[in-house]
Structure 1
């Protein structure tokens, strides 16, 4: 893949396909009439057939930010939960593969950029869908906003170490915001190609470190102890699972791109299983490499030291030389940029789906006449991201301890809750009619996934102070607004049912057009 060609494509405006080719089916893409769908833009639908399996995998893996997870979070997982971290990552991956079975089956029947929102709408009814939409939008937005602080923090540190340049973190955050705003406004496939380059580079440096460790140490520290159940699920593992489960956030975003996928019935399942399976094995293997390099006792000693956060940077320097540490510094920044871009795209598509269905202003449900992107939703997300950055700077807050951990703490809880709700929706949707799918895929697997997510949610909430570094009521004060706004979304849907039935009929119903005459029948088919 030639990065120069990607940049040239970005400058020249992306695809040469005309607006007419990208607007097919746009008039029927929401709950309103044709005139509603096209009132604000000549093209009201996302570009169909523009994303292949690997494009979507790039988005999911990049959103997971594998280098940031391994180099930035895994050392903390070791510190909190001991040597069982590799097993915790594998277990978390298994939970999400079970969830993916039901999720991809659902996605083959419901294709919508709102994913959680549309799934819950079909499985649990429209009021639940409206509440889900609000929580999903806020959760993804909070994670996206927090990553600007994460990016600014590491960019400032890397530029200082590499070039001696001293600039405030907010300058780098603002630069990232500007670039992401342009990429989000333009065609999505440009972002996919850039994410592919960045993801490949960060994965490659970690693989090179792993090979160097194995070539140097051989089998001297080979042990399966990190995968032993007694190590993975011991009394102190709860806080470790906060990081292990959080490492897979965004796996469901394959469904978010179902409207833009080539052959969604095949592309979405393949992309989901590939992304989750790769991340589970990759995280488990690369974290085990730290054990192979340091030994069990050495790993514990390093993870409890004051320099534990530099564990993988130290391995890079020791086994490959100073060049590898420099590469890690650079790639950490690009990894965080890629993740921020991916979460921006996901947030924009949730806002697009809500606008298209009339839950928020329909202006957000319009697509660009040339790029077929949800440009208004993307602009809104970019403008909103300015606010937490300015607030953090004004209050002299820390970009990592405050902007990142507080926003992502709430966002992670919100997403895991929605994943659990989505599994319940899958079970209800397929309970009486499996629609040609096997019992394991649509009943057993999502049921087991729901049990795993329930355990994960409990672990997160019971260890929430580890994410925020706050105590007592302050943690409840952070989480409560998202839950209350979710309830407000349910109440709003109930109001729409009585006052604006034409809007209510389209809530969470995917790309189908539903008119007032069929609202009663749809309500019966999807009880509240």
Structure 2
């Protein structure tokens, strides 16, 4: 190929994503990111153990109500701002280009930390599963890196393949959890069925801020429906419907599942069962109520659930990078789209390398995959996502107050304002209890803001500040690019 032909081929490379994803396919993508079985089998036991104990299931209702209010404003913006950038697009349109770019980097940081958190958990589970089957005892991070490679292969290809894989896995894991809950209901549990998890005294017991962190973290990803706008069949209808369906479905499912988990051991026994080993609580519960065959099935599905989770976050991250590279915020090469797979393939490769590098650092530091990698970085991601959502709620109000494109008060003012209050209060409570998650406590178990707590929380501030400063640099050095920054970064 001559140099001229090479340039022509490069110029012909598509830069815009396209597709025909419907409501169901997009819901599968974002609910798979929420990873139902990973939440029920992984996060819920930790929320019970180091959170608010028996009252933990009620926090899913609290989270769902807050996030549903947030979703109202998000859906309104999706209708009037035809861009696939989600957080950074809407914040950019409402609060200005520097705020939008700060949000872009914060979103990247959020999804990256939650993704590597789950990689830690899947590495832990694969390592103990291999040993239980008579295999070699290998470090958790080897299994985690192997998973990164497999996710990278799927992320490189067309998104329809990912959505089909996620859809199959999601149906299977939801079905098995519902079967478990049905078995608990039919057998009654050791103390019978009750509404103890929803009693106010139980909801505020222990460390409710930690419990709320795990509950809100379970929803991370639902708001990414807007990211798939360019690949949706009818985005003006598909995106709002997918957003509402995702948050309502997630809220109902997790509340029911966590309640069933508590009932399976009884209000008086669930804490002791979780303390024995939170990582295997789900498997032990299934062994009691569904037998050894059920335990094997759930063990397999728990692994595939985590895989579906990291695959979904990988797809979201690659599309964030693709949009940001189009704005000149990231290297231009990342905006390329594969000629045959129609995927942001170079962005996918970059994200695969990023995840692998972070896991290598965690391995060198000797971090525990469950109590440190998963717990710490889930907490960091939740604080960041709550802040992003709160900023987006304000951006919605400001945007519609400025241009009057939508006169519906509930959708553009009331619901976003209520969502902002709920998210701001949630973030404050989570931060107040954050030291408990990382072990910064005094002799009585009270939270103490030590060096580790401040270091992790500082990341939530440093990342958006970097984005804000980068916007200032672009404004000074590349005025024309700055003037188009919001539209460019929105794809």
TM-score (structure 1 length as normaliser): 0.85
Question: 3-state SS of the aligned residue for 2:85?
Answer: coil
Question: 3-state SS of the aligned residue for 1:463?
Answer: helix
CA shift digits 1:219-256 (9 cap, x unpaired): 97232232234432457422211111111111111011
CA 1:135–1:121: 2 relative to 1, 3 Å: same
Instruction: State the partner residue of 2:388.
Output: 418
1:275 matches 2:246: yes
Quote how far apart the aligned CAs of 1:482 are: 4.4
Of 127-136 and 470-479, more deviation after overlay is shown by 470-479
CA shift digits 1:427-481 (9 cap, x unpaired): 1111244423521122111111111111111122112223333561222222324
Mapped to 2, the partners of 1:310 and 1:146 lie a distance apart of 17
Mapped to 1, the partners of 2:430 and 2:173 lie a distance apart of 28
2:53·2:206 contact (CA, 8 Å) conserved in 1?
no
CA 1:463–1:40: 2 relative to 1, 3 Å: farther
Instruction: State the partner residue of 1:478.
Output: 456
Instruction: State the partner residue of 1:379.
Output: 349
1:489 matches 2:467: yes
- Pick from 86, 92, 101 the counterpart of residue 57 of structure 2: 86
Quote how far apart the aligned CAs of 1:158 are: 1.5
1:112·1:510 contact (CA, 8 Å) conserved in 2?
no
Quote how far apart the aligned CAs of 1:111 are: 3.4
Quote how far apart the aligned CAs of 1:123 are: 0.5
CA shift digits 1:116-160 (9 cap, x unpaired): 111111000001111111111122122222322221111111222
How well do the aligned residues superpose, as a CA RMSD in angstroms? 2.3
Mapped to 2, the partners of 1:296 and 1:337 lie a distance apart of 31
CA 1:234–1:432: 2 relative to 1, 3 Å: farther
CA 1:225–1:170: 2 relative to 1, 3 Å: closer
CA shift digits 1:151-190 (9 cap, x unpaired): 1111111222234443332232222111111111110111
- How many equivalent pairs are there? 475
Instruction: State the partner residue of 1:142.
Output: 113
CA shift digits 1:274-316 (9 cap, x unpaired): 111111011111111133333322334434x424543332221
Mapped to 2, the partners of 1:482 and 1:99 lie a distance apart of 21
Quote how far apart the aligned CAs of 1:89 are: 0.7
Instruction: State the partner residue of 1:370.
Output: 340
Instruction: State the partner residue of 1:329.
Output: 299
1:289 matches 2:267: no
Mapped to 1, the partners of 2:118 and 2:262 lie a distance apart of 29
Instruction: State the partner residue of 1:151.
Output: 122
Mapped to 1, the partners of 2:15 and 2:395 lie a distance apart of 28
- Pick from 175, 197, 202 the counterpart of residue 231 of structure 1: 202
CA 1:218–1:488: 2 relative to 1, 3 Å: closer
- Pick from 412, 415, 419 the counterpart of residue 449 of structure 1: 419
1:173 matches 2:144: yes
Mapped to 1, the partners of 2:118 and 2:240 lie a distance apart of 28
- Pick from 98, 122, 133 the counterpart of residue 162 of structure 1: 133
Where does structure 2 lack aligned partners over 5 or more consecutive residues?
1-6, 441-448
Quote how far apart the aligned CAs of 1:395 are: 3.4
1:213 matches 2:213: no
Quote how far apart the aligned CAs of 1:506 are: 2.1
- Pick from 394, 408, 428 the counterpart of residue 438 of structure 1: 408
2:85·2:489 contact (CA, 8 Å) conserved in 1?
no
Question: 3-state SS of the aligned residue for 1:509?
Answer: helix
Where does structure 1 lack aligned partners over 5 or more consecutive residues?
1-35, 514-528
CA shift digits 1:62-91 (9 cap, x unpaired): 111111111112122223202211211111
Instruction: State the partner residue of 1:394.
Output: 364
Mapped to 2, the partners of 1:153 and 1:109 lie a distance apart of 44
